[in-house]
Amino acid sequence: MWYVIIYEVALLGLGFHLLHGFFQRSQDTGCISSQICEAGKNCGVDIHHHHYCRFYGHACLHLLNQRIMILDAKIPEGNLADKWDNYKAHAKLVNPANRKKLDIIVVGTGLAGASCAASLAEQGYNVKTFCFQDSPRRAHSVAAQGGVNAAKNYKNDGDSVYRMFYDTIKGGDFRSREANVYRLAECSAALIDLAVAQGVPFAREYGGYLNNRSFGGVQVSRTFYARGQTGQQLLLGAYQAMMRQESLGRVKSYSRHEMLELVVADGKAVGIITRDLVTGEIERHAANAVVLATGGYGKIYYLSTLAMGCNSSAIWRAHKKGAHMAGVSWIQFHPTCLPQSGEHQSKLTLMSESLRNDGRIWVPGKAGDDRQPVDIPEEERDYYLERRYPAFGNLSPRDISSRAAKERIDAGYGIGPMKNAVYLDFSKAIKEQGKEKIKEKYGNLFTMYQKINGVSAYEQPMLISPAAHFTMGGLWVDYQLMTTIPGLFALGEANFSDHGANRLGANSLLQACVDGYFIAPYTIPNYLADELKLKKTDIDHPAFEEAEATVRKQLQDFLQHKGTLSADHFHKTLGKLLYDKCGLSRSRESLTEAIATIKQLKASFSKDLKITGDNKNNSELEKAGRIADYLELGELMCYDALAREESCGAHFREEYQTPEGEAIRNDEEFCFVSAWEWKGSNNDPEMHKEPLVFENVQLTVRSYK
C-alpha cells in the first residue's frame, strides 16, 4: 500500500495532562520536535522508518480511535547523496524476455512523456502514447525558452550538486522533499550529456565549449540554452528518440486522442478511456501501468503563458478516482511576460527569464508619470529589485520578482496603456556590450517582441508584467513517482514533487527530462516486476464498462444543455476570479469569497452552458469537459490556500507578511505537504499531510537581500 493507515492505540502510559499539553503545542503540525517523537514511541506506535518518526509522535496526540492517514513517500535509507544509488541497486528488474509481455500507457508526449516512452520502449516494453495535439511535436514543452539547469560547474564559479540542491530547496521556500530535490540535481549533468548526444544545439563559446548563463535565485551560471528555443530543441531530441521506437514497433502513437477517464480495478490503475477528437469515438485501452505526463494547470487562469489546449483533465480525472492532489495552490506567476492589452486576448506571451541577465527592471520614481522612458532621467527611475534585493537584483526568484512588480503596479507606478506593466531596459547592456552581442544572445526574443508590439527593444525598454505560468502543485507522488493509486505514475509538471512552493527558472525542463529519462525507467519496472505474476485486466472488465459509461453520460449531458453561455464564458469568469482572489496574493476573506462564488459558477455551468455541434469533431465539447474540471480544481485551489495559514514561495497570504511586505513562513505548523482526497462533488475535500523532514539543510528565513 502507498499510504499507511494508523488506528490510535490507548495512551495508558500518558496522563491526560501530558496529552493535552502536547496537543496544544503541536496541533496539526508537520515538523515535530524530538520530545514529541519520544512521546510517539511511548504510545506504542511501531516506527519502522525514521523519516516519519516525528509525525508518528504527533499522530499519538490526536483523539483516541481517530483514523489517521500518513502519506509514505518511500524514501530510501542512507545518506542523502546515496539514496538514489541505493534505490537503483535494490530495485526489482524484469527479464528482457518478459518485458514484451507488459504494456504501458503514457498520456502526454511532451518532454516527460516522450522521454519516458522512448526509454521504456528501448528496454523492450510495449508502449502506447496519447496526445490531443495532431503531433507530439506540438506539446507545450516546445514553448519553453530560457534553458535547462545542470550542475556541471563549467564556469568554475563554485557550482556543485549540493549547491544546486540547496538553491532549489531554498527557492521552493523549504516546502519540498530533500531526497527528490537532491536526485534532481544529481541527475542533471547526465541530462546534458544525453541531449548533446541527441544533437541538441546548445549554445557554445568560441572554443566550442558549452556556454552557460544564470537564472533567477542563484549566484552561479548553470543554465544551458539553445538561444530562446531550448524547450523546442530538447523536445525534438525526445521526439526523435520516441519515433525511433515507433519505427521498431515498440511504441504505438495515438494523436488527437484525449484521455477522459482513468480505469481502476482491484485498487490499481489498469487503463484509460479516450475520445478520438476527430471522429468522436470512445475507446478503451488497457495496460499494466499508466503514466500521466500531461503538464500543469496554469491555464485555469485563462490568461496565462500556456497554450489554449493545455488543461488539467487527465490529472483531475485521476484525482477523482483516488489519486491525491498536493500543493494545489502553489502557482507560479512568471515576472517577464507581455502585459495584457485588452479583453480580446486568450493568452499572454512569455519572454524568457534569461533576459534578466542583462535587462534592468524599473518603474518611474513618481506615480502616474506618463513621460516616455527615454525622457525619464536615471535619478528619477526606481530599479526596485536592485533596491530591495541587492544580492540578487534583477535575478531574484520568480515569486519575489512577480510580487514586487505587482506591488509597484498596484501602488500606481505601472506603465503602458493599461498601467499594468514595468520596464525591462537593455540600454546599459547595449552600451557596455554592443548591440550585436545582445542580438547574439537574445535576437529571436527581440524579434518576437517587435512583431507583437511594433517596438524595437534595442531602442526602447520592453514592457513586461507577471502572468500565470507554472504549477508547482499536481498529483501527489512518492519517491518512485507513483501516485496514491498503485500502477499510476505522474511525471513532470503533472506531479508536485520537486519544486516546493516556488520553482527556480530552468528547472522545469530539467524535471521533465530527468523524470522521463532517468527515474521512471527504474521505478516503473520495479512496480511491473510483481505484475508479471498477475493476469492483465482486459478491456471487457466491468471497470472499463463503468468508466466508459461515465464518459458517455457526461458528454451526452453537455450536448443536452439548453443554456445560453459558452464554455469560454465560464473559463474567463473563473480565471479572473482566481487571479483576483487566489493569484499573486490571497487572504482568508478573498478565498472564502472565491469558494462561494465558484460554487455558484458550478451551479450556473450545469444549467446555463450551451454547446453547439455534435459529438464528433467539436472543440466546444472538448472545452466543456475541461472547464468542468477547472471549476472543481479552482475550488480545491482555494481550499488549499485557505488551509495554509502562512506565506511561502508563490503562496502569499496577505495576513502573513512583514511590515516590508516579505513573506512570513510558519514552520511550526505548516512544514508539510498538503495532499487532498476527493470526497465527492457535494462534499468538501479531505486534507492529508506528508511531513517534511529536513536532515541536511537548516530551515532559515528565505532572503535574497
Q: What is the 3-state secondary structure (H, E, C) of 431-463?
A: HHHCHHHHHHHHHHHHHHHHHHHCCCCCCCCEE
Residue with cell 519515433: 243
Spatial separation of the C-alpha atoms in residues 584 and 567, rounded to whole Å: 25
**Of 639, 648, 654, 688, nearest in space to 668 by CA:** 648
The torsion of the CA quartet 79, 85, 89, 91, rounded to 10 degrees, works out to 100
**Of 478, 481, 452, nearest in space to 464 by CA:** 452
Kindly report the backbone phi and psi dihedral angles of residue 264, in degrees, each rounded to the nearest multiple of 5, phi listed first: -120, 125
Residue 5 neighbours by CB under 8 Å, 6+ apart = 67, 68, 69
The bridge status of strand 126-130 relative to strand 103-107 is parallel
Decide if 352 contacts 443 (C-beta within 8 A): no
* Grid cell digits, residue 5: 493507515
How far from chain centre, in Å, is Cα 315? 12
* Grid cell digits, residue 234: 530538447
**Of 438, 447, 500, 516, nearest in space to 169 by CA:** 500
**Of 702, 626, 578, nearest in space to 169 by CA:** 702
* DSSP for residue 688: E
Please report how the helices 83-90 and 178-198 are oriented relative to each other, as an axis angle in degrees rounded to 10.
Answer: 70
Decide if 260 contacts 533 (C-beta within 8 A): no
Mapping DSSP to helix (H, G, I), strand (E, B) and coil, where does residue 106 land?
strand
Kindly report the backbone phi and psi dihedral angles of residue 86, in degrees, each rounded to the nearest multiple of 5, phi listed first: -65, -40
CA torsion through residues 34, 35, 36, 39, sign: positive
CA atoms in the 13 A half-sphere facing the CB of 36: 26
Decide if 468 contacts 298 (C-beta within 8 A): yes
Angle at 123 between CA 119 and CA 126, to 5 degrees: 90
Decide if 464 contacts 442 (C-beta within 8 A): no
Spatial separation of the C-alpha atoms in residues 305 and 124, rounded to whole Å: 37
**Of 34, 185, 290, 79, nearest in space to 511 by CA:** 185
* Furthest CA-CA distance within the chain: 77
Mapping DSSP to helix (H, G, I), strand (E, B) and coil, where does residue 377 land?
coil
Other CB atoms within 10 Å distance of the CB of residue 195: 25
Catalytic residues: 398
Spatial separation of the C-alpha atoms in residues 654 and 646, rounded to whole Å: 9
* Grid cell digits, residue 245: 521506437
Q: From the DSSP assignment, how many helices (H) and strands (E) are in the chain?
A: 21, 21
Residue 490 neighbours by CB under 8 Å, 6+ apart = 291, 292, 293, 315, 318, 323, 474, 475, 477, 481, 483
**Of 194, 264, 259, nearest in space to 233 by CA:** 194
